Amino acid sequence: MNNNAPETIRVREPRVACDGSGDIPAALGHPRVWLQIDEKGYVDCGYCDRHFVLIGGPADAISS
């Protein structure tokens, strides 16, 4: 079974950078973009669909 769900990354700051790297080198990712988490508590990267969730925000399912 192939799980194509976007990767979710929990972050502490509302402004995040994404370049598509992680399991692959940054050179094979996408151009670095800066994303701003809004009142919903999350933002998605338009290039790689990574889902960034603000820790403790309204979209954080694991907030304590």
Sequence-ordered strand ranges (E) for the chain? 8-11, 15-18, 33-36, 42-44, 51-54
Query: Is residue 63 in some structural domain?
Result: no
Q: How much is the pTM?
A: 0.83
Q: What is the pLDDT of residue 63?
A: 57
Q: What is the DSSP-derived secondary structure letter of residue 25? A: -
On whether residue 60 sits in a domain, the answer given is no
Residue 1 lies inside a defined structural domain of this protein: no
Per-residue pLDDT at 3: 65
Tell me what pLDDT residue 1 has.
Answer: 47
How many folded domains does the chain comprise?
Answer: 1
pLDDT by residue, tens only, the chain of 64 residues:
456 778 999 999 999 999 988 777 777 789 999 999 999 999 999 999 999 999 999 999 875 4
Residue 40 domain-assigned (yes or no): yes
**Residue 64 belongs to a domain:** no
**Residue 57 confidence (pLDDT):** 95
Could you list the residue range(s) of the whole structural domain that residue 31 is in? Answer: 8-54
CATH number for the domain harbouring residue 13:
2.60.260.40
